[in-house]
């Protein structure tokens, strides 16, 4: 029976295909960026990350049919890593695509030798904070008036010992749950 006709799996979202972002993807990424952030990066920022920053690793996610619906970026500097951005097109949120992208970036960090990972999020962005907390991040500090558009505070979130058994086990349990809730291969 084809997977999409199987009543046990028909209501599950299809997994994204995640690949490395290229310069040709920036136009599609910018459309999601504009729908996701009040202060947006210019296309040149993505281009420079892709072309000039050897510590930067950017990804895009496509749904079947080929549309780019998500992206994310991370810097890995020896044992440290930093999520610089992550976004899902508003029409595709709440279907685990943000989670898939985060998992891809966590693997990138771990494979490149990072032991800890950090990021900033708006204090009001509880959706993003919930996603990160699910993957073991905790709030470690607040940066006052970090966002210049509205003076909002940033929370700094952090997860450590990524290469330790405890974190790897947590990640594989969450990944299994993620795979069970979706259709197809990653």
Ligand X SMILES: CC(C)(COP(=O)(O)OP(=O)(O)OC[C@H]1O[C@@H](n2cnc3c(N)ncnc32)[C@H](O)[C@@H]1OP(=O)(O)O)[C@@H](O)C(=O)NCCC(=O)NCCS
- The footprint of ligand X (CB under 6 A) covers 36, 86-88, 93-99, 121, 125, 127-128, 130-131, 134
Interstrand relation of 56-62 and 68-77 (parallel, antiparallel or unpaired):
antiparallel
Position with the least CB separation from ligand X: 98
Cβ at position 22, least distance to ligand X in Å = 21
One of 58, 71, 97, 132 is an active-site residue; which one?
Answer: 132
Cβ at position 142, least distance to ligand X in Å = 14
Cβ at position 99, least distance to ligand X in Å = 3
Count, in order, helices (H) and strands (E) of the chain.
5, 7
One of 108, 120, 135, 167 is an active-site residue; which one?
Answer: 120
Contact (Cβ atoms closer than 8 angstroms) between residue 46 and residue 29: yes
Q: Which is nearer to ligand X, 77 or 127 (CB)?
A: 127
Backbone angles phi, psi at 43, to 5 degrees: -55, -35
Cβ at position 1, least distance to ligand X in Å = 27
Active site residue 132: yes
CA angle 80, 53, 129 (to 5 degrees): 45
Q: How far apart are CA 177 and CA 16, in angstroms?
A: 16
Residues 6+ apart with CB under 8 A from 8: none
Residue 16 corresponds to which tokens in the numbers above?
A: 């994204």
- Residues involved in catalysis: 120, 132
């Amino acid at each position: 029976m084809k997977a999409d006709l199987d009543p046990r799996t028909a209501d599950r979202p299809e997994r994204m295909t995640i690949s490395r972002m290229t310069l040709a993807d920036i136009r599609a990424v910018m459309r999601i960026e504009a729908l996701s952030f009040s202060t947006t990066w210019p296309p040149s920022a993505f281009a420079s990350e892709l072309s000039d920053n050897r510590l930067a690793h950017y990804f895009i996610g496509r749904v079947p049919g080929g549309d780019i619906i998500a992206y994310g970026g991370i810097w890995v500097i020896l044992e440290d890593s930093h999520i610089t951005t992550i976004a899902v097109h508003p029409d595709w949120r709440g279907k685990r695509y943000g989670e898939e992208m985060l998992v891809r970036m966590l693997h990138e960090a771990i494979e490149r030798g990072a032991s800890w990972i950090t990021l900033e999020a708006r204090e009001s962005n509880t959706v993003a904070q919930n996603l990160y907390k699910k993957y073991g991040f905790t709030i470690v500090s607040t940066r006052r008036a970090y966002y210049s558009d509205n003076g909002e505070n940033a929370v700094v979130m952090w997860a450590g010992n990524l290469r330790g058994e405890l974190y790897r086990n947590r990640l594989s349990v969450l990944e299994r749950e993620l795979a069970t809730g979706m259709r197809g291969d990653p």
